[in-house]
Amino acid sequence: MKTVAEFKIQYKQILAPGGEAVAPLPRFAQDAAEVLRMYRAMTLVRVFDAKAVNLQRTGQLGTYPSCLGHEAAHVGIGAAMRPEDVLAPVYREFGTQLWRGVTMAEILTYWGGDESGSDFAVPRQDFAWCVPIATQTLHAAGAAMAFKVLREPRCALAYIGDGGTSEGAFYEALNLAGSRALPVIFVIVNNGWAISVPVAAQTATQTLAQKAVAAGIPGVQVDGNDVFAVREVVGEALEAARRGAGPTLIEALTYRLSDHTTADDASRYRPAQEVKDAWALEPLIRIRKFLLNAGIWDAALEQTLLEECALQVDAAVTEYLAKARPTTDAMFEHLFAALPAHLHEQRRVARKYGSKPSGH
């Protein structure tokens, strides 16, 4: 038999876990102000994330999906995108959303049970959080098709988790994007676990990036804890798509340091040593060491930043808690021109239980 095709998956890392550069620094990484901007954004999302978990634990927020450990992937992607691009998130990409202009109060409003939190004031055409698995990849491909038809120099970017790559919708989106050379980027945030299912139990592939091969599009793997590498790889893919070169699949390797959501207990299925090892590689340590080694950061600046972030988060929480709660009727609005009889009954029951006193 003869070989008719061969493929390879490249891996990108710029910052090693110790904060030292192991590859040439991109231009943006040579700009101290820009590096500090990314580090500040990563720190803010971590402070916000911890507060959101505390709000849920005290009954002031609904079930919440922590993004702890994903900060480099999220901020690197947000920094690589243009404002006119469109984001199709899953449900924990808060770092990207904050970078793009979604407010912390909007995030809290949605996870507090109010759909108006999805009515973003700034990135008006970004998609809302997508709890169904993998459907957001089709949304992004559809938006990218519109951009191509309208000849607009815009791109769509869809997030997906490692578990979501086992869904049929993911493959359908890749196939459509590849066959039509659509300006869309698919980013797999491989954090090791699809709730309680490890990657090894999900697929026999050596990488998730190689799933691009079947769609005839480029696939690349990147250190998802390295904000420089993420921003460079995603930025290059976006520019290629903007030039008409079509889509790219990017696998960002990171680790979910938190439970899957506040309704999960990851200690039931994850080895404690695995989590401990992952904490040594988490993304904020790496970029902080880079800044310290460069002589543009110190303990006093770190403390000031944490205090500033806490004030911003507290202000957002105050805004969220002051917002009037929607009634249970909101669940039944905008569904039908005339509400069917069975939904009238459901609304009546919802009103009965929704009128009982409860926390925010």
Please check whether residue 26 lies inside any domain of the structure: yes
- The answer to whether the CB of 86 falls within 8 A of the CB of 157 is yes
Please check whether residue 13 lies inside any domain of the structure: no
Residue count of the chain, please give it: 360
The domain total for the chain is 2
Q: In angstroms, rounded to a whole number, what is the distance separating the alpha carbons of residues 189 and 208?
A: 10
Shared domain for 319 and 334, answered yes or no, is no
Task: Check which CATH number belongs to the domain holding 51 and give it.
Answer: 3.40.50.970
Hunting for tokens 């919440």 — which residue is that? 64
Say how many C-beta atoms besides its own lie within 10 A of residue 142's C-beta: 16
Please check whether residue 282 lies inside any domain of the structure: yes
**pLDDT at position 60, please?**
96
Q: In angstroms, rounded to a whole number, what is the distance separating the alpha carbons of residues 116 and 207?
A: 38
Token pair for residue 184? 């869309």
- Which parts of the chain register pLDDT below 70? 355-360
Residues catalogued as catalytic = 256, 260, 269
Q: Going by C-beta distance under 8 Å and a sequence separation of 6 or more, which residues neighbour residue 66?
A: 49, 52, 53, 92, 258, 259, 261, 262
Question: Got the DSSP string for 253-313?
Answer: E----S-SSTT--GGGTS-HHHHHHHHTT-HHHHHHHHHHHTTS--HHHHHHHHHHHHHHH
Shared domain for 300 and 350, answered yes or no, is no
Please check whether residue 9 lies inside any domain of the structure: no
Q: In angstroms, rounded to a whole number, what is the distance separating the alpha carbons of residues 294 and 338?
A: 64
Token pair for residue 62? 């609904």
**pLDDT at position 360, please?**
46
**pLDDT at position 61, please?**
96
Shared domain for 243 and 333, answered yes or no, is no
Reported as half-sphere exposure (CB side, CA atoms, 13 A), residue 294 has a value of 19
Q: In angstroms, rounded to a whole number, what is the distance separating the alpha carbons of residues 221 and 254?
A: 11
- DSSP for residue 21: B
Reported as half-sphere exposure (CB side, CA atoms, 13 A), residue 26 has a value of 21
**pLDDT at position 354, please?**
78
Shared domain for 306 and 359, answered yes or no, is no
Shared domain for 103 and 229, answered yes or no, is yes
Q: In angstroms, rounded to a whole number, what is the distance separating the alpha carbons of residues 265 and 259?
A: 6
Shared domain for 219 and 334, answered yes or no, is no
Token pair for residue 31? 């700009």
Reduced to 3 states (helix: H, G, I; strand: E, B; else coil), residue 321 is helix
Q: In angstroms, rounded to a whole number, what is the distance separating the alpha carbons of residues 307 and 336?
A: 48
Measured N-to-C along each axis, helices 32-57 and 104-111 cross at an angle, to the nearest 10 degrees, of: 30
- Least Cα distance to 302 among 312, 292, 293 occurs for 292
Decide the pairing of beta strands 193-194 and 156-161: unpaired
Please check whether residue 4 lies inside any domain of the structure: no
- Least Cα distance to 262 among 113, 104, 52 occurs for 52
Shared domain for 263 and 313, answered yes or no, is yes
Please check whether residue 218 lies inside any domain of the structure: yes
Question: What range does the domain containing 40 cover?
Answer: 18-326
Reduced to 3 states (helix: H, G, I; strand: E, B; else coil), residue 221 is strand
**212-264 pLDDT tens trace:** 999 999 999 999 999 999 999 999 999 999 999 999 999 999 999 999 999 99
Token pair for residue 89? 């998130």
Q: In angstroms, rounded to a whole number, what is the distance separating the alpha carbons of residues 321 and 183?
A: 40
Please check whether residue 3 lies inside any domain of the structure: no
Shared domain for 210 and 345, answered yes or no, is no
- Least Cα distance to 184 among 231, 135, 234, 129 occurs for 234
- The answer to whether the CB of 43 falls within 8 A of the CB of 249 is no
Shared domain for 30 and 153, answered yes or no, is yes
Shared domain for 64 and 126, answered yes or no, is yes
- The answer to whether the CB of 203 falls within 8 A of the CB of 246 is no
**pLDDT at position 355, please?**
67
Q: Provide Rg for the chain, Cα atoms.
A: 21
Q: In angstroms, rounded to a whole number, what is the distance separating the alpha carbons of residues 81 and 154?
A: 10
Please check whether residue 114 lies inside any domain of the structure: yes
Shared domain for 47 and 180, answered yes or no, is yes
Shared domain for 120 and 243, answered yes or no, is yes
**pLDDT at position 357, please?**
52
